[in-house]
Structure 1
């Protein structure tokens, strides 16, 4: 009985001193974190490279859009942007292009002006309210008040144009679930330009309409 107890203690001491298999257990803790970090670095690198390609394509297209014959080449320029971005994108990626023309650079990202019935004009609350007898200047001439006064398209001579491209695609590495990230990535690039020729611009639209 005593000898069996001594043998059992000796076995326990050998098991306690045995480190074989410890590496596998340690890797089970460290491995997922390491793999997640590696995939995350690749994902960040690909995103940065894609953004660089997109910005380069937009800058080239922006320079071409300033030329006088840009209207006839507009669709071709959009296709070139999509084709260049597609070289680093998965097949399921979507590319949307938007062009908004403005009378001047100061109009970019500005809402259409709201006019009140008081002598100071603008009400200041940023809401076009017909119940308060307010009116607005329909800068883009589309018969509705807009939070962005830009008009669709590249406009005419001397107009300021903001040219934007958005790319959305699923992540290349299956790490988004582990890191709590969204499955899709959206990248946006914009360029601002002024159309040529610079001395033949149409008059600014000042049509006033009633707020809805």
Structure 2
């Protein structure tokens, strides 16, 4: 008779199901917040990139960055930090291209002391020829923003993750042709000679 008694069985079942349900619910919220934040950031950076490509972009750089932050402010993120990077190139083919170098030991990678062609004017070999900043007329600009924020729920502890979440967005646009494109100086550098 006691084995068939079902009264009170709901409470232990609820106690087993509730934590699993809450972890699932909070996980979906955390994941959804990150996806939504990335979507809004991508839209904001596309708008900001178009504004930065105008002739007035150089004088409006801080206002353009503030526009991106303002677009994200309605989203409930705590303790956000923003990392902004702008690299400019002569053309789209240069994006991510390393500076040329003389491979003295034929190992297919740059080693200290090898001669190289400095294309971005910093007298250092770089794995990317991009110059910092917005560039000039007709230059291609890669505009990247990374937002780091504190996660709302401490689920990250359950999976040995990080408390800080991070989303980033990047866009590459050509500046408007508000003048002739400036030629980029290339200089052969041979360290140690």
* TM-score, scaled to structure 1: 0.82
Correspondences of 1:113-192 after superposition (within 5 Å): 113-116=100-103, 123=106, 125-130=108-113, 134-192=114-172
Q: 2:73 aligns with which of 65, 86, 109?
A: 86
* Alpha-carbon distance change, 200 to 33 in structure 1, aligned in 2, over 3 angstroms: same
* Alpha-carbon distance change, 100 to 68 in structure 1, aligned in 2, over 3 angstroms: same
In 2, distance between residues paired with 1:29 and 1:196?
A: 61
| Structure 1 unaligned spans of 5+ | 1-12
Correspondences of 1:59-78 after superposition (within 5 Å): 59-78=46-65
**Correspondence for 2:5:** 18
SS of the residue corresponding to residue 60 of structure 2 reads helix
Q: 1:206 aligns with which of 186, 189, 193?
A: 186
In 1, distance between residues paired with 2:144 and 2:177?
A: 22
In 1, distance between residues paired with 2:166 and 2:104?
A: 43
Q: Is the 8 A contact 2:139 2:174 kept in 1?
A: yes
Q: Is the 8 A contact 1:163 1:191 kept in 2?
A: yes
**Correspondence for 1:195:** 175
* Alpha-carbon distance change, 194 to 92 in structure 1, aligned in 2, over 3 angstroms: same
Q: Is the 8 A contact 2:116 2:125 kept in 1?
A: yes
Give, in angstroms, the shift of residue 198 of structure 1: 6.4
* TM-score, scaled to structure 2: 0.89
In 1, distance between residues paired with 2:71 and 2:146?
A: 13
Q: Is the 8 A contact 2:145 2:168 kept in 1?
A: yes
Q: Does 1:108 align with 2:72?
A: no
Q: Is the 8 A contact 2:118 2:188 kept in 1?
A: yes
How many residues align structurally?
Answer: 192
In 1, distance between residues paired with 2:137 and 2:73?
A: 31
Higher helix share: 1
Give, in angstroms, the shift of residue 75 of structure 1: 1.4
